[in-house]
Chains A and B, each alone.
Chain A
Amino acid sequence: MEIQEITGFFKEELFVADLKGKTRDEVLDELTEKFISGNFIKNHELVLDMLHRRESVGSTGIGHGIAIPHGRTTAAPELTIAFGKSSAGVEWEALDGEPVHLVFLVIAPPYEENNHYLPTLGKLVEFLSKAENRDRLKAIDNFQDFISLFSQ
């Protein structure tokens, strides 16, 4: 799988240039709400419970100001990714203790024909391990620039 293939899972309605949430729980709630208002998922509580459960196993803050909360849920019709930026930074109990500025929320159904879920998580981790990609993401403020960053 190539990083370009991921662009199909991003949605303009799920792009948040300036997160309001100040805590991990608030940000998870805020991004999950985007899935509801964008009509991608109907059950807010179910998804949020799943995300909290995932965080209880270990933080999804992978370091360098990045968090990739993720999970499969029966409530999701297809693999979809929300993106949010926080200029202030959010405490996420990340591996390196740093506050989180870039959040990718990856929601997948229980089963997908192409099985893109785990490869997508892997590609995101790989892409975000590069400092230049993180810096570019921090500089963008609209969905078109965001998508083109992943299309190069």
Chain B
Amino acid sequence: MKNELEILVALQDLDLMLKELDEVRQLGFDVRSEGEEALAKAREELVGQISKPLLGNYERLRAKYKRAIVPVKGDTCLGCFMKLPTYLLTHMQRDQRVINCEGCGRILYWLK
């Protein structure tokens, strides 16, 4: 079972894919309309596993910034380049929880 952060990240990856399907098709790749429907369905399934407030948070961030979830490099949010406090970094690494950047509000994802 995936935790909520992992489901959110999967959702962002899926949204990124949906957004560029037309461009990928134009490059000569096989992108079928029934495949697009399957993706939309997969999206519904992921959305169903995320709590309403968190989903609202994700959608609001996505509308505002395009990327709702951004990586953390070292101790820096790569969305706004704010240095994150140590206690936040410890939480992130240890608990794999959904944590918003104190600077920009985006959801943080630990890359390494």
Binding site for B on A (CB under 8 A): 39, 42-43, 46, 49-50, 53-54, 56-62, 68, 70-75, 77, 95, 109-111, 118, 121-122, 125
Contact = CB atoms under 8 A, between A and B. Distances in A.
Nearest to A117: B20
Contact of B27 (A58, A74, A75, A125): A125
22 contacts: A43-B9, A49-B13, A50-B14, A50-B17, A56-B35, A56-B38, A57-B32, A57-B35, A57-B36, A60-B30, A62-B29, A62-B30, A71-B13, A71-B17, A73-B16, A109-B71, A110-B16, A111-B67, A118-B20, A118-B27, A121-B24, A121-B27
Given A56-B38, A57-B38, A57-B39, A74 B71 contact: yes
A72 B32 CA distance: 19
Interface string B68-101: 0101010000000000000000000000000000
A77 B73 contact: yes
Which of A68, A72, A95 gathers the greatest number of chain B CB atoms within 10 Å?
A72
A61 B29 CA distance: 8
Nearest to B112: A42
A97 to B, nearest CB: 12
State which size class the interface on B falls in: 20 to 34
Contacts of B69: 74, 110
A56 B39 CA distance: 8
Contacts of A39: 112
